[in-house]
Amino acid sequence: MNVYCMRHGRTNYNDLGLCNDDPGRDVYLTETGIAQAQSAAHELRDAAFERIIVSPLPRTRQTAEIVNRHHALPIEVHADLADIRSGFESRPVPDYFAAISHDPLRARVNGGESLLDHKQRVLRFIDWLKAQPEKTLLVVAHEETMRVFVAYFEGGIADSQLRDIHVGNCEYRRYVLHR
């Protein structure tokens, strides 16, 4: 199976440096994010997607809808693709990093999940994908989720190195998932 994994386009919360894992918040693609998604859509216009899967957060759907203009497929939401539940909704990202600095892999703050909790959720999604019949899929998610995809598919990345992986807005990677 070919799996194209993409991070969503730039958002207003990216510009403000704020955490977001609540799909009810008014987080949306900026003009830059729309342009990024349009560029990715152009690059992926000939990909033979059979299915598009996004997280419950609207920015992934907005990105997928732009890419999907060339494919006209239903867009499916999968809860396991949601961004990490930081416990710092609408608060500055540096404050979140400061709060978990004592144990970046295992710290859970304000009822959120740890990086390793999030990793296990994304790995559960990958296991679910293995049972799907499609040959080519597009998955639109978040940088934290992309880090897990990169580590899983590219290998040789320790959990302690996950935060060192940086994935730009609308950056995508194609992987082969063996069932």
User: Which residues line the annotated binding site for substrate?
Assistant: 7-14, 59
Token pair listed for 145 = 């989720």
Give the closest residue to 105 by CA, choosing from 59, 52, 163.
Answer: 163
Q: Is 59 helix (H, G, I), strand (E, B) or coil?
A: helix
Residue 155: Cβ-neighbour burial (10 angstroms; 0-12, 13-18, 19+): exposed
Q: Indicate the annotated binding residues.
A: 7-14, 59
Separation CA 133–CA 179 (nearest Å): 10
8 Å CB contact between 116 and 138? no
